[in-house]
Amino acid sequence: MSGGDRGAALVARLALERHPEGGWFKRIHTSAHALDTAHGARARVTSIHYLLTVDEPRGRLHRNRSDILHYLQGGGPVEYLLLDEADGTLRRVVLGHDVGQQLFLFVPGGIWKASRLIGDADHALVSEAVVPGFDFADHAFADLALLERFPQHRELLALFVRR
Ligand code: GUN
């Protein structure tokens, strides 16, 4: 099966939908229990499958108030770019099955995150657990004004911002 076919097969098999960040996703778990947060009630935890493919190889730069745990399920390598707005540091992490790559990534709430397939990857299937559970009210996309504050990272991160 060719790379494009493998991604398309996973989209069909897992009944994934297009994600506004780019890529594909499906909610696979929503806790039946609620949690009070400073921003309102949320499920205790939610979880999704998230897939990048040759047709959808990038996840746009965004952040969420919740902590997010990422587990590589298949494919890769996929690179994550993590910008800490507090001090301007940019961390690059590769999820993959080779030496020097990780199978797990923890992203604390508030960190800006983008992702892309790298190397010979034709897909990457990553499952995420979001705590407190996902809500669009906790989510924001980056714009070019954010990048103006971090000129040292602007060129790279501009690849992940919609104009
Ligand atoms: N990103 C992480 N979890 C979710 C979710 O449940 N829904 C959406 N749309 N995006 C997410």
Question: Ligand 1 centroid to 138 CA: how many Å?
Answer: 11
pLDDT at 3: 58
Residue nearest to atom 11 of ligand 1 (CA): 134
Tokens 């997010």 locate to 68
pTM: 0.96
3 state SS of 126: strand
State which of 21, 48, 52, 141 you would mutate to test the pocket of ligand 1, scoring each by most atoms of that ligand within 8 A of its C-beta: 48
State which of 16, 64, 130 you would mutate to test the pocket of ligand 1, scoring each by most atoms of that ligand within 8 A of its C-beta: 130
Pocket of ligand 1 (CB under 6 A): 25, 27, 46, 48, 128, 130, 134
Could you tell me if residue 52 is left (phi over 0), alpha (psi between -120 and 50 degrees) or otherwise beta? beta
In the chain, domain spans = 3-160
**Confidence class for position 51, pLDDT limits 50, 70, 90:** very high
Phi, psi of 36 (to 5 degrees): -85, 125
Please say whether the dihedral angle defined by the alpha carbons of residues 17, 117, 126 and 79, taken in this order, is positive or negative: negative
Question: Tokens at residue 34, please?
Answer: 């609620």
For ligand 1, what atom is nearest to the CA of residue 19? 9
Q: Is a pLDDT exceeding 90 seen at residue 95?
A: yes
Residue nearest to atom 1 of ligand 1 (CA): 134
Buried b (16+ CB within 10 A) or exposed e, 118-150: eeebbbbbbbbbbbbbbbeebeeebeeebbeeb
Q: What percent of the chain has pLDDT over 90?
A: 96
Give residue-wise pLDDT tens across range 114-161: 999 999 999 999 999 999 999 999 999 999 999 999 999 999 999 999
Closest CA to 85 of 112, 115, 106, 64: 112
Q: What is the CATH number of domain 3-160?
A: 2.60.120.10
Question: Ligand 1 centroid to 42 CA: how many Å?
Answer: 13
Rounded CA-CA distance 133/42 in Å is 6
Assess contact for 93 and 102: CB atoms under 8 A.
yes
